[in-house]
Amino acid sequence: MAEILAAILLLAGSGIVLIAAVGVARLPDAYLRMHAATKAGVVGAGTVLLGAAVAFGSPEAWLTVLFALACLLLTTPIASHLLGRAAYVSGAPLWHGTQVDHLEGVLDRRPAPSDPIRTEGRSTAMPTIRDLGARDLRRATPTAKAPTAQAPEATRVRRILAVLPPNGAGDTVLGHAVSAARVHGAAITGLSVVDLPRLAEVGPMPVGGGTYARMMADTRLRRCRERMADALERFEADCRRFGLTHALRHEEGDAGALVEAASAAHDLVLVPATRALCDDEAGDPLRTALGLLARGVRPVVVAAGPVRPVRRVAFCHDGSARAARTLSWLAQLGPWPEAEVRLVGLGEPSHALDTALSEGESLLVAHGRRCARGDTVAGGEDLLSVIAGGPAPEVVVIGNAGGLLLPMRVCASAALRALHDPDRPVVLG
């Protein structure tokens, strides 16, 4: 009979510990998980200890088990209470299904970024972006244009999209966008993008760390929204200072898809030289720019370097149809109407490449653009030396940036080196 009772106690205690372990892994907040862990330590372990005492049956075993049970009953609930109190005071979030908070107003609690604000039993979501003077972020704000040197009517830059990152690189994008808008008398749209899928990536988490992963993601999201609000404020202040027609726009979701949708209604798209639109640090500009090219957004202007008058543009032509289309865009749109375009051939000299360069030169002349014929290079350091040789251009245009996706292409390595540390705007076609 004793063996049966001991087996029942051991199995019951093990089952309670198993259920508690599942609760620690699955319950939604720290307080519920702590409740499950306490039950495992007191009820589950206590039942197992009683089963062991029944199995041994000796007075020494019963004395040891009773002493262990007394220690569990005296220490575990108190420790659990103190840990729960510390979690509450430090701001550990409550489960969204919690209806009553009896400690509200009793203990001082640090607000948690992911803690919902409860009003009459319902929660209100964190605002998308902080209020910028209660104005509509999607409404264009026309203002009187300052008198500037206007581009010829043949040019057609009328709307410029400036994609603002949440860091200092946004000032560079804004500077180049304002410069182009003043030349063309164009309207600027300042687009701030919060890349939700990327911000949600917090890395591997241990079992039971889902709540803290959400807290980390919410903190990153909140900080990104605050930086985006600052970027939009600087954007509007500069546009008003120069008397430019402008619009403010904020989007959240997949950054590439959002920029792709916004670019359809604009003539010129400027992106920052950053690794991604939600990162704090600057990095490889190819990650953002080439991602947009893959979506069909082209050409893309990677805004980098100081803002200065553009007098020379180096156009890298590899003889492909894509490079020809990019050159046609440059000739017809004229984003830098006063600049001289220097055509640089990429690849082995051939009749086809020479023909493409001659046709490109004729196209530029037909649209009233000043042009010059540069050398043809096979790639490598020769490309960089030709681009930098003589009067250095203020803008470099890679006519066929699709070649950057294939490392074995002739000019890919040189173009990659030129873009990894850009000191001037680079246009990818």
Residue 261 placed within a domain: yes
**pLDDT tens, position by position, 23-42:** 888 887 788 888 888 877 78
Is the same domain home to 222 and 287?
Answer: yes
Q: How many domains does the chain have?
A: 3
pTM: 0.64
Residue 216 placed within a domain: yes
Name the more confident of 429 and 236. 236
pLDDT of amino acid 119: 33
pLDDT of amino acid 389: 59
Residue 335 placed within a domain: yes
Is the same domain home to 333 and 281?
Answer: no
Beta strands 122-124; 140-141: pairing state: unpaired
Distance CA 414, CA 382 (A): 8
For range 5-33, the mean pLDDT: 86
**pLDDT tens, position by position, 283-307:** 455 667 777 877 888 888 888 778 8
pLDDT of amino acid 252: 85
Is the same domain home to 261 and 314?
Answer: no
Where a domain ends, among 90, 109, 140? 90
CA distances in angstroms from 172 to 210, 318, 384, 421, listed in the order given: 38, 29, 23, 14
The boundaries of the domain holding residue 411 are: 308-429
CATH code of the domain in which 180 resides: 3.40.50.620
pLDDT of amino acid 379: 58
What lies within 8 Å, CB to CB, of 157 at 6+ separation is 151, 180, 184, 186, 267, 268, 333, 334, 335
Residue 116 placed within a domain: no
CA distances in angstroms from 276 to 175, 199, 236, 239, listed in the order given: 19, 11, 23, 25
Is the same domain home to 171 and 283?
Answer: yes
Q: Residue 184 above 60 pLDDT?
A: yes
Residue 254 placed within a domain: yes
Res. 82 pLDDT band, cuts 50 70 90: confident
CB 194 within 8 A of CB 183: no
Indicate the DSSP class of residue 282.
Answer: B
**pLDDT tens, position by position, 374-396:** 777 765 455 666 665 567 788 88
Is the same domain home to 312 and 286?
Answer: no
